[in-house]
A and B are shown apart, each in its own frame.
Chain A
Amino acid sequence: MGGAAVTTELVVSPESPEPGEPPRGRKVRPGSGWGGRFVASPYLLLVPAAVALAGVSLYPLFYGVRASFTHYLYGRDFGTNGLTNYRNAWNDEFFRQAMETTAKYVICTVTIETLLGLGLALLVSREIRFSSPIRVGLILPMTIAPVVVGVMWRLIYDSGVGVTDPLFQLFGASPPDVLAHNTSAFIAVVVVDVWEWTPLIFLIVLAGLQSMPQEPLEAARVDGAGRVRLFMDHTLPMLMPVLLVAITLRTIDAIGTFDQIYVLTQGGPGTATRLISIYAYNTAFLFTQYGQAAAMLVMLLIMVMLLMVVAVRLMRRAAR
């Protein structure tokens, strides 16, 4: 929970230096005042940003933790109720189910995206001439709103208007109506995520491959190393720092997936695609159980925090 500690620092510090006192580290030359009469410190420049950041992160997170200990009835605050929300959430079979589904979803999507992105980049890396049109084509899926992604794929999946049913019929299979059955619906939302985010891994690996120094590779090749050897001993270790950053960021994002699912299946059929975000949203906004939803999210937050700390560490290392 290193994040919480540094956050407080950021909020406290703008007030701490006396106005007019020059910042310690760097000398401020006379005549280089902050414009006009008052000589302020760089700390003042941080104040608006600190307020803005605290307002949308620190405050809601604090408030969310507080809400998780609060009894809400029909959306109204009826004081604290200790750990009741947590106990309810923990004993809630659907909560566990949603966590499991989320775990399954995250593992499936991130694994497939990593392997596919890596493989495709290795395939294409030899042909640098094409990298520009490919890049343009591939950034499009991840730029547009996930809601629009959902709409696109509904137009593909839905029977009557879509492409999947006719495609299956073409090969003599019965039309599957993908979003109507548990397993196929889950596969369908995974496919959408893979379509949207494989390009990110692909482009990262491609950039890594193209900026890689060629001499060690050549040397190893001269020494008679095979392709697999070259990849395992040289290419992969070079890509690793950046690849790990991408995987961690992708994992954090995938845990919070909401938009496409909301448009495609709303968590259905049954509970087949009900990720934790969908379930928490429904608990809060459909059933106005703010307290219980907040308790679920606090538990999720702890997991995400751990991942975020890992992400920051990895990014620091990759930057070196």
Chain B
Amino acid sequence: MPRIGLYLGITLILVVALFPFWWMVDTSLKQPVDIFGGVTLYPHHPTTSNYSRLFDVYHFGAYLENSLIIVAVSVAFSLTIGTLAAYALARFQLRFGLNQSALVVALLVRMIPGILLVIPLYITLARWGLLNTRLGLILIYTGLNTSFVIWMMQSFLAEIPRDIEEAAMVDGDSRLTALWRVVIPLAAPGLAATAIFCVITTYNDFLIALSLTSTTQAQTVPVGVSTLIGKIQIEYGPMAAAGVIGALPIVIFALVVQRHFVRGLTLGAVK
């Protein structure tokens, strides 16, 4: 029966994809004794002590707070800046072939591996006294996200017919109020997807945050997770709990945008 083979294949794929998630949740809910007590596929004596240790002993709340502020502010900035630029690119015939070249630049910036940027960024922030500050990370993430916003929003805005805003302008709107009152609401689904993508990449970033911060004053969640490993003895329970907390908001966001997900990851090559 080829049919059964197919179902088995599908089940196997899903088990392989999802087992590590379950194993992490499982470990995070186990007593320390049970963590080392052999393979058990669910916590026999479930406990939340790993989570409370994470917050009480390892100050995980501070990392969460930093991440929340940095992500919120930088995403808001980059959405504003990027959408304005995307609008100009989508609606006007600009000189010097800017319409095309600006998009290519945005794409290139998006693709540069972080390791290539991080050393000069470190030296620069050090000079401006912005090392280990939330502001430093906010500025950098704003710039990096802007490239992605321009790239995505340009294609979303180009899909909206011009007539609509021109009608609004005949009715007395200026360009910017027409953009705000008419175009943005129409582009809202695309804007939301773009925003969520920015949230995911910013929240997940590790290398930049690791290199440019040094204390809980500015360290973000992924850096917080990694500090639990640097210790001589690894605390597996809290580490698993930290992983769960690090993954949870992203999993929720990802499920919201799952329809757009491949489009975002392939930078629009696959719709």
B251 CB → nearest A CB, Å: 6
Which B residues are CB-close (under 8 A) to A123?
Answer: 6, 9
Contact B267 A3 (CB under 8 A): no
B132 within 8 A of A: no
Interface size, chain A (Cβ < 8 Å): 109
Chain B interface size, as a band, is: 35 or more
Checking A46, A290, A293 against B88 with a beta-carbon cut-off of 8 angstroms, the contacting residue is A46
In the assembled complex, how far is the CB of residue B131 from the closest CB belonging to chain A, in whole angstroms? 12
Complex Cα distance, B102 from A3, in Å, reads: 10
Closest to A319 in B: B269
Q: For the complex, what is the distance from the CA of A6 to the CA of B102, rounded to whole Å?
A: 8
| B119 closest partner in A (C-beta) | A284
B1-28 contacts to A (CB < 8 Å): 6, 9-10, 13-14, 16-18, 20-21, 23-24, 27
Which of A51-59, A84-92, A181-189, A224-232 is the contact stretch?
A51-59
Known: A140-B21, A246-B269. A57 touches B84 (CB 8 A): no
Q: Please report the C-alpha to C-alpha distance between residue A156 and residue B21 in the assembled complex, in whole angstroms.
A: 10
Pair A6/B266 contact, Cβ less than 8 Å: no
Contact for B261 among A52, A143, A256, CB less than 8 A: A143
Kindly state the separation between the CA atoms of A143 and B265 in the bound complex, as whole angstroms: 10
Rounded to whole angstroms, the CA-CA distance of A25 and B270 in the bound complex is 31
CB-CB under 8 A from A190, the residues of chain B are none
Taking CB atoms, residues of chain B closer than 8 Å to A127 are 6, 10
- A55 lies within 8 A of B143 (CB): yes
If A45-B85, A56-B143 touch, whether A13 touches B96 (CB-CB below 8 Å) is: yes
CB pair A141–B17 under 8 Å, yes or no, is yes
Q: Which residues of A contact B218 (CB under 8 A)?
A: none
Question: Assuming the A-B contacts A43-B88, A45-B84, are A207 and B222 also in contact, with contact meaning beta carbons closer than 8 angstroms in the complex?
Answer: no
Judged by DSSP, the binding face of B is helix
Q: How far is the CA of A140 from the CA of B116 in the complex (A)?
A: 27
| 25 contacting pairs across A/B (C-beta < 8 A) | A6-B104, A9-B101, A13-B95, A23-B92, A23-B93, A24-B95, A25-B94, A35-B174, A45-B87, A46-B102, A56-B140, A57-B112, A134-B13, A136-B255, A146-B204, A149-B20, A246-B270, A255-B113, A277-B207, A281-B207, A290-B119, A294-B119, A297-B115, A308-B108, A319-B269
A-B residue pairs, 7 tightest by C-beta? A25-B93, A256-B113, A56-B143, A49-B85, A35-B174, A145-B204, A143-B254
Contacts from B to A (Cβ < 8 Å): 6, 9-10, 13-14, 16-18, 20-21, 23-24, 27, 35-36, 38-39, 78, 81-82, 84-85, 87-89, 91-98, 101-102, 104-109, 111-124, 139-140, 142-144, 146-147, 150, 169, 174-177, 200, 203-207, 210-211, 221-222, 225-226, 229, 234, 236, 239-240, 242-243, 246-247, 250-251, 253-255, 258, 261-262, 265-270
Residues on A facing B (Cβ under 8 Å) = 3, 6-7, 9-10, 13, 16-17, 23-26, 29, 31-36, 42-43, 45-46, 48-50, 52-53, 55-57, 59-61, 63-64, 67, 120, 123-124, 126-127, 130, 133-149, 151-156, 158, 160-161, 163, 166, 195, 199-200, 203-204, 207-208, 242, 245-246, 249, 252-253, 255-256, 258-259, 262-263, 276-277, 280-281, 284-285, 290, 293-294, 297, 300-301, 304, 308, 311-312, 315, 318-319
